[in-house]
Chain A
Amino acid sequence: MTKILIIDDEIPTLDMLQLFLEACGYTVLAAGDAAKGIEIFEAETPPIVLTDIKMPTKDGFLVLKTIKSIRPETEVIVITGHGDKDLAQQALELNASEFFHKPLDTDALNAALKRAEKRLGLLDTD
């Protein structure tokens, strides 16, 4: 079971995402803010991280940078608000694997996670 760290300051979203990803068969680690997320990452080193990019205090970019500096091979998928093309662009430049707009297209997210797992060699290739 692949471990995924999810970081979002919106607790209800975080809860729903956890339920959904667990239903999809992942082990989910949830963090309500960036600092907590980094803390969990350091402790658990999940191969995949899913983070909201716009958060008060430390925003998603900082999380992205930090995680990438700790473990560059980590697959970091960022979630942005609708229409934040610039932010998506910046995230990709910081080596984010993928980006998604809200509201989240869960099928696409699933596919992205599968791709990440493949890249990480966690899944058998078809």
Chain B
Amino acid sequence: MLSMNPLLADNPTFSNDKLRILELITENAILRNEIRVAREAAEITASLVVKQFEETERILRKFQDANAQRKAVLDSATQIAIVATDINGIVTVFNTGAENLLGYRAKEIIGVAKPDIFHDPEEIKSHAQEIKDYSQKQVDGVDVFLEYARLGKTEQREWTCINNEGEKFPVSLSINALKNPEGMVDGFLCIAMDITEKKRSEKALAESERNYRLLIDNIPNIVFKGYSDGSIDFFDDKIEALTGYSKELFLSRKMKWTDIIYDEDRASVRHAFINALKGDKSYIREYRIWKKNGDFVWVEASSQIICDDKGIIEFITGAFLDITERKLAEQALHESEEKYRSLFNSGPNPIFVLDQQSLEILDANPSAEETYGYTKEELVGISFEELGTFEYENRSFSLMPKGQWFQGCVLSQKVRHYRKSGAPFYAEVKACPAVYQDKPSIILAATDITETMEKDAQLFQASKMTTLGEMSAGIAHELNQPLNTIKIGSDFLKTMVQKRQSIPPEKMLQVVSVVNNQIERASDIINRLREFGRKSDFKKELVCINTTIKEVMAIIGQQLALQNIQVVYSLDDAAPMILANKNRLEQIIFNLVTNARDAIQHCPVREENGKKCMIKIKSRMEGNESIFSISDTGIGIPEDTKEKIFEPFFTTKDVGKGMGLGLAITYGIVRDFGGTIEVESHPGKGTCFTIRFPRSLA
């Protein structure tokens, strides 16, 4: 669209065409200018409007932000209840925290309720009473809360809140008055914080405190904190029970711990402290302290020295323990050990401690060294069996199943042990199970009974000699028989020679044979006598009872026969061997047979009523026992002397006829070989001795 160009219109000199063009150009320029101006104006206006709008927007946004901030402040305090009221206490603000805490929604509270509904009426009443007591002013309901704020004071205290489900919980509530621009109170701001957790922590803390205290009170240890000057803090009252001095005496520094330490122990206590200081700073000491009443107490102090960065002692902490009882027990133990030691060391008998399994010697006393001829160093480590046998119920110790030990103590009598030199001696051994250095062991005490045995043997010998003496007449008879025969034989030869008669060879042979036989017979008797009379040792050997009986009877049988005493044998060939000593077994049989003979000879009515004078000798096997018995038809033993017959030197024979040792020795021998002897007697009818030996297991 073309608009009128004023420049062109005002210049008429222009040719029409030229003018027209000029006009047009001008017009164009004008128009263009107009357009520019108009456009610029429009642009300016628009930017103004925009600016205005933007300003408006900005202000608006600021306002909204402030509002949002306020709301955010209120709402973000989700754990803090913020409740505002008007001057009459009607709620005007009820934030999210209040909603969370009390369970009510803001819309059901604002403008309707007063905050006293969130509280325990009883508590309100009691607080109202406090206000009344304080200011003589009667208030109730919400005014109980607002009273102080109205007076311009800020009140903060604990209250119990009740939520909409009736649950009670503690809060810390502060109430402030709100003032309008004129400075007049026109509302109240209540801020409440749930202090359940805090309460719980406080309670837990109190409980932990209590537990700690209980612990301190109940542990036997007395916990302390001390300082290098010897002053000390105690954490419990037990110190008074221990020392008789009160805790306060120490806490107030009127007393130092070092004051009551036993004088003799002080140096070592100090020493331990110094050592600990150089070392890992901890130490355990045992020492005595004086009690207030003058007694002393053993304490065990375990302590730790606490130092600062520079190594300066800050304090010492630790615990005391009363160990008096333990110490006294230790002392008693020590004394008992000492006692045992001195017994062990000075005891006259050898004592060994052996391992129960291996019988290895663990310890030996000086008497053991002396008796066995070894040094202790030589003894320790070797098996006890190298010193000699140890028998129990006829079983050698080494036959015991490994690791099996007898119940209780066992006694082995007359076992043969060897000195280092190889010289044997007899010992009586008592062994008891024990615990030595925590190992199952055997305490073995040996008694050298060689001397006793020798005396025994002498007595035994004396008794044998008596028997021999008693038998001498009979033996003389026995020897006279062969001598008589020999003499007659030789007299025959002599007569023949004297008469110068020739001796037929068969007669010569007959005489020589008889002489030979009779000499053998005589020497046999002599040998038996010598065998019987010789001093016997105590070696155990396998002995056949039957053979021994026959051999003894070969010596005295003839004599009995000539005294018209019939001997009846009932010997069971199955009777097994026993572990004994032949010579001693012979002695038993001799003693019993001669006693039987004497009993028969003392019988005043021996020949009357056709009563036979008889000695019965029986042997048999019964279970694991070899039994033999010798019975007679003699006078018998009166009941009142029956108990005494095995006692040494008890005799019923005339003075000079017997030593009273026969049965005592018999008893001793039987016992030595693990046997028993029983007597059954009927006065006037006879006596029977029964001897039982365990069957030899060897």
Contacts of A103 in B (CB 8 A): 480, 483-484, 486-488
Are the C-beta atoms of B477 and A82 separated by less than 8 Å? yes
| A12 on interface, CB distance cutoff 8 Å | yes
Given contacts A19-B507, A23-B501, contact A82 B480 (CB under 8 A): yes
Distance of A104 Cα from B473 Cα, bound (Å): 18
Are the C-beta atoms of A56 and B484 separated by less than 8 Å? no
Contacts of B491 in A (CB 8 A): 20, 104, 106
Distance of A82 Cα from B487 Cα, bound (Å): 14
Contacts of A24 in B (CB 8 A): 495
Given contacts A23-B501, A82-B477, A104-B484, contact A16 B489 (CB under 8 A): yes
Are the C-beta atoms of A16 and B481 separated by less than 8 Å? no
* A side interface size, CB within 8 A: 20
Are the C-beta atoms of B495 and A23 separated by less than 8 Å? yes
Given contacts A12-B518, A83-B473, contact A19 B480 (CB under 8 A): no
Residue interface mask A8-23, B partner, CB < 8 A = 1: 0010110111011001
Given contacts A23-B496, A23-B501, A54-B562, contact A17 B477 (CB under 8 A): no
Given contacts A12-B517, A19-B492, A24-B495, contact A56 B561 (CB under 8 A): yes
Contacts of B485 in A (CB 8 A): 10, 12-13, 16
| B547 on interface, CB distance cutoff 8 Å | no
Are the C-beta atoms of A15 and B483 separated by less than 8 Å? no
Residue interface mask A45-72, B partner, CB < 8 A = 1: 0000000001010010000000000000
Given contacts A23-B501, A24-B495, contact A15 B562 (CB under 8 A): no
Contacts of B476 in A (CB 8 A): 81-83
Interface of B is mostly: helix
Contacts of B492 in A (CB 8 A): 16, 19-20, 23
Residue of B486, B487, B488, B496 ringed by the most chain A CB atoms within 10 A: B488
Distance of A124 Cα from B356 Cα, bound (Å): 98
Contacts of A23 in B (CB 8 A): 492, 495-496, 499, 501
Instruction: Say which size band chain B's interface belongs to.
Output: 20 to 34
Distance between B520 CB and nearest chain A CB, rounded to angstroms? 11
Distance of A10 Cα from B518 Cα, bound (Å): 11
**Which residue on B lies nearest to A59, using beta carbons?**
B564
**Which residue on A lies nearest to B473, using beta carbons?**
A83
Contacts of A19 in B (CB 8 A): 488-489, 492, 507, 510-511
Are the C-beta atoms of B489 and A102 separated by less than 8 Å? no
Which residue from B481, B488, B518, B561 sits with its C-beta under 8 Å from A17?
Answer: B488
Contacts of A106 in B (CB 8 A): 487-488, 491, 495
Distance between B449 CB and nearest chain A CB, rounded to angstroms? 43
| B514 on interface, CB distance cutoff 8 Å | yes
Distance of A1 Cα from B546 Cα, bound (Å): 51
Residue interface mask A68-89, B partner, CB < 8 A = 1: 0000000000000111000000
Are the C-beta atoms of B514 and A12 separated by less than 8 Å? yes
Distance between A36 CB and nearest chain B CB, rounded to angstroms? 18
B residues lining the A interface (CB < 8 Å):
473, 476-477, 480-489, 491-492, 495-496, 499, 501, 507, 510-511, 514, 517-518, 561-562, 564
Top 7 nearest A-B pairs (CB, nearest first) are A106-B491, A20-B492, A16-B488, A102-B484, A16-B489, A103-B487, A103-B484
A residues lining the B interface (CB < 8 Å):
10, 12-13, 15-17, 19-20, 23-24, 54, 56, 59, 81-83, 102-104, 106
